[in-house]
Amino acid sequence: MSSEQPVKSSTLTRLRNYFLTGFIITAPLFITIYLIWSFIQWVDSWVVPYIPVAYNPDTYLPYSVPGVGVLTAIIIITLIGFLTANIIGRTVINYGENLVGRMPFVRNIYNGLKQIFQTVFSSESASFQQVGLIEYPRPGLWALVFIATSTRGEVDGRLKGKDQDTLAVFLPTTPNPTSGFLLFVPKEDVIILDMGVEDAAKLVISAGLVTPKYKEKTKALADEAMAETTAEPKKPVAKKPRAPRRKTAKAG
């Protein structure tokens, strides 16, 4: 009986390890597929009803084709961007924006969203490209933040009186990083990290379980350079004097 029990326990341990290994591999895959499929169905439910029957593939096929709405939305958005680049498109867009600007409640929402998208998707924008650490909610506790931009506007003008440069940072919540807090922190109190925004998002979503690899090679090089600077300088080796060359007589 005693010999059979360890065999059963070892078999159960292996089966459990196999199950956990398979779960770790398949769970992220199926969740990713589910999210992509849900997004495609959501876009199709909005776009496909507005596609004319003559141009809808579902009219000619016995089954529905997923992704038609996504493809149509991409084409329409690209065409709008192309038309906006010329004079006629700019005129139409300006007329539409002037019309929206006359609506009291709608203009506030539209202008705010437009400014956010222009700031985030601008090619020259450096917003949300750096990650930092700040002491929050009290000294001794550290929180991960995304560097938005340097403080601007009235907030910057008010804080300039305190003779300190500040940064606008976004403090995300766990496990949902889309919600959080906007904080204006002195620049000297922010520790800029080397990790990317994607790695920081993984760290926040996983509640610290998924830790990005630290740049150990960079750290090793820095330690090596520091060791070389602190080491004693090597004494120069005295070179032996060379023997003078003998002149050979030229043959007459």
pLDDT tens digits, 226-236 = 677 666 555 55
Average pLDDT, the chain: 80
pLDDT tens digits, 171-217 = 999 888 888 999 999 989 999 998 888 889 888 988 888 887 776 55
Structure token pair of residue 209: 């379980």
Structure token pair of residue 165: 């440069």
Determine what percent of the chain falls in helix, strand and coil, rounding each to the nearest 5: 55, 15, 35
Gap between the Cα atoms of 107 and 97, Å rounded? 9
Residue 197: Cβ within 10 Å count: 13
Whole-number pLDDT of residue 91 = 84
Of the candidates 162, 129, 161, the residue with the CA atom closest to the CA atom of residue 146: 129
Gap between the Cα atoms of 100 and 110, Å rounded? 8
Query: Which amino acid appears at position 225 of this protein?
Result: A
Lowest mean pLDDT among 14-23, 37-46, 112-121, 189-198: 112-121
On whether the pTM is more than 0.85, the answer is: no
Percent of the chain scoring above 90 in pLDDT: 19
Whole-number pLDDT of residue 143 = 93
Q: Is the pLDDT of residue 16 over 50?
A: yes
Q: Is the pLDDT of residue 67 over 60?
A: yes
Whole-number pLDDT of residue 169 = 93
Whole-number pLDDT of residue 252 = 42
- Beta carbons of 164 and 151 less than 8 angstroms apart: no
| Structure confidence at residue 2 as a pLDDT band (50, 70, 90) | low
